[in-house]
Chain A
Amino acid sequence: MLEIKNLHVSIGGKEILKGLNLSITAGQVHAIMGPNGSGKSTLSYVLAGRAGYDITQGSITYNGEDLGALPPEARAAKGVFLAMQYPVEIPGVTTMMFLKSALNAQRRARGESELDAIGVLKTVRRKAAALNVSEEMLKRALNVGFSGGEKKRLEILQMSLFEPKLAILDETDSGLDIDALKLVAEGVNALRDPARAMLVITHYQRLLDYIVPDRIHVLAGGRIVAEGGKELALELEAKGYDQIVKDAA
């Protein structure tokens, strides 16, 4: 589904990703682990299409298509979803209004009919209940005054609502206590699907106790330096990033 080859990405002329290779097929959950500054967030933003992240070399192929050539909204319509580390506040726009606008924008782009307000409301309510997202939260302005846990739950609610083919979770565990983490992980696990690929980006092994990946890649200095099964996470936890990076060198 996703094929990244020799990817080089610069921000403002500074190279962050330096020849990254990664391949994910549908139904798999891959984890990217790495120390701070290794390029984890850069990878998530370049996949989602954020402006200012320049691909200077290499390619990102998604279902046979050059993903780098598409604007962010087209990627979303084609099933790419990024659950962000820092969800953004939009004052005056209710969460429900935002979900409806986004869902219908994606449907329009795919040539599907738009859902009416009641249709969206029903779907959102059903999905929100499972993630403990209250009716009251849906009425508040998007992410404004939300706690860290509320913001992350809302990200997973959007993932559940948009039903992406490729879901990227950027540091979804950051800022969550253990109960909130479990709730979010349950939400993610419920969305595991043979037709869906997931890329879980995290600094800590902790999240991977709850979202067990099929493959783990260690990112350091803008490249994948080590790969393995889920046991690699435990090894990282025991040895630390420095040792793993040295071993790989």
Chain B
Amino acid sequence: MSSAAAPEINKQTKETVAALGEKYKYGFVTDIEMTRAPKGLSEDTVRYISAAKNEPDWMLEWRLAAYRRWVQMKEPDWARVHYPRIDYQNAYYYAAPKNTPLKKSLDEVDPKLLETYNKLGIPLNEQMALAGVAVDAVFDSVSVATTFTDKLNEAGVIFCPISEAIRDYPDMVRKYLGTVVPVSDNFFATLNSAVFSDGTFVYVPKGVRCPMELSTYFRINASETGQFERTLIVAEEGSYVSYLEGCTAPKRDENQLHAAVVELVALEAAEIKYSTVQNWYPGDENGLGGIYNFVTKRGDCRGDRSKISWTQVETGSAITWKYPSCILRGDDSVGEFYSIAIANHYQQADTGTKMIHLGKNTRSRIISKGISAGRAQNTYRGLVSVHARAENARNFTQCDSLLMGGQCGAHTVPYIESRNSSARIEHEATTSKIAEDQLFYCQARGLGAEEAVALIVNGFCKEVLQQLPMEFAVEAQKLVGISLEGSVG
């Protein structure tokens, strides 16, 4: 995009946001011609997707095997979330803007798409080098732009859409895909394995510290369409990478499905920091519409002394069902999970983590902050499992819940299994309300009620917000405030 266009787009952005004039600021729809797979899900759908992406045969076979397994599986019902039965035949599984070139420079990308990301505050133009963040932009089922690939290549880092990686680096993808989250893992992961569309592939070679923050921005635009992102990050021995994903979707009365799978592999002494700011459309004040966010995220600390750290800020979606987990396989490996889950109005969140201690001296740390308002239900569900071989495993878990008003719910469901007597597992949990005297104190010093709530909640979440890369921490703080608008009467 030329720099001359920028002021015009900024003006449009402001106008659009002002016109929306509502609480969810990303609810607009981009009017762009789309190619879609026929409605419904069958082997033909899987073949369609694979063909649309020019995939090799092995990938198609992998997908088909997943599909055949999926049709025999049952949707899980153990989470504390309620929703009408999903009709999997009444949705589209693939939607892509027409005329998306396969290998694209930004000049070739449809200006409408660039404009969309601009409105979302995700500038893709190369001038954003200043921000020092490389972006992969996924629009419905395809990646539309990836920035800084060249600069990253110089460092030996591969950062590209996974559809591209399947074609260009098939050996690498085959070696790792499905090794952390097996095809048969769970209903939604298996579905994803059959129909995944796009997502990001990251490979950081031995000893390399990735020179910039990597980020993928997921946007659902098309109606009646599910998004099935697939992300795979491999960090070789002694390498480091920090990755962030962001998500938004238009406001619609229908519910849309987002079923992602993310796999992380950290080899010896490697470190992966994975942050999520999830702001899918949460539905309206009466619980109409919103995204069903059913996600499987898992990291494998495969090498000794490796470390995987998950940080998530979950403010969107009608339903969130996700448990970013760590398999602490290598000796002395470390897993961390920092989470903020905000549920307002009729949102339902059932989220937490699993820390599976397999290696010796493995350590894990879980800090979960749940905020419930309106009529929302917010559940922390977590497993700490210490296996027999895991000498001296350590876990610390802290789950804090904050309630606003008398009609919401907070639930903590910790599962602890230990097969090694040397394990030390600590669990702390608190539930509190925003006290009337705290609100009054802030108001008496000039803060409006909503500003006061945002301040208090940000204070409550501070330990987690501090874990986010600096570039995103400020945005996340604002988001915390916006998500709770309308929660004080």
A residues near B (Cβ < 8 Å) are 48-51, 71-73, 75-77, 82, 84, 86-93, 97-98, 101-103, 105-106, 109, 141, 158, 162
Contact = CB atoms under 8 A, between A and B. Distances in A.
Given A51-B436, A84-B441, A102-B442, A90 B447 contact: no
Given A73-B443, A76-B444, A91 B451 contact: no
Which of B436, B438, B442, B446 lies at the interface centre, i.e. has the most chain A CB atoms within 10 A of its CB? B446
A142 B147 CA distance: 42
Contacts of A141: 459
B438 A92 contact: no
A244 B437 CA distance: 34
Contacts of A84: 441, 444
Given A90-B456, A98-B455, A72 B443 contact: yes
A90 B445 CA distance: 13
B408 to A, nearest CB: 20
Q: Size range of the interface on B?
A: 20 to 34
A88 B440 CA distance: 9
A102 B459 contact: no
Contact of A92 (B436, B447, B459): B459
Which of B440, B441, B449, B451 lies at the interface centre, i.e. has the most chain A CB atoms within 10 A of its CB? B441
A199 to B, nearest CB: 15
Given A73-B446, A105-B448, A109-B446, A87 B459 contact: no
Contacts of A102: 442, 445-447
Contact of B455 (A71, A86, A101): A101
Nearest to A141: B459
A105 B438 contact: no
Contacts of B455: 90, 93, 97-98, 101
B424 interface: no
Interface in B447-467: 447-449, 451, 455-456, 458-463
Which of B445, B458, B463 lies at the interface centre, i.e. has the most chain A CB atoms within 10 A of its CB? B445
B172 interface: no
20 contacts: A48-B440, A50-B440, A71-B449, A73-B447, A73-B448, A73-B449, A76-B444, A82-B444, A86-B437, A88-B437, A88-B440, A90-B455, A90-B459, A97-B455, A98-B455, A105-B447, A105-B451, A109-B446, A141-B459, A158-B445
Contacts of B443: 49, 71-73, 76
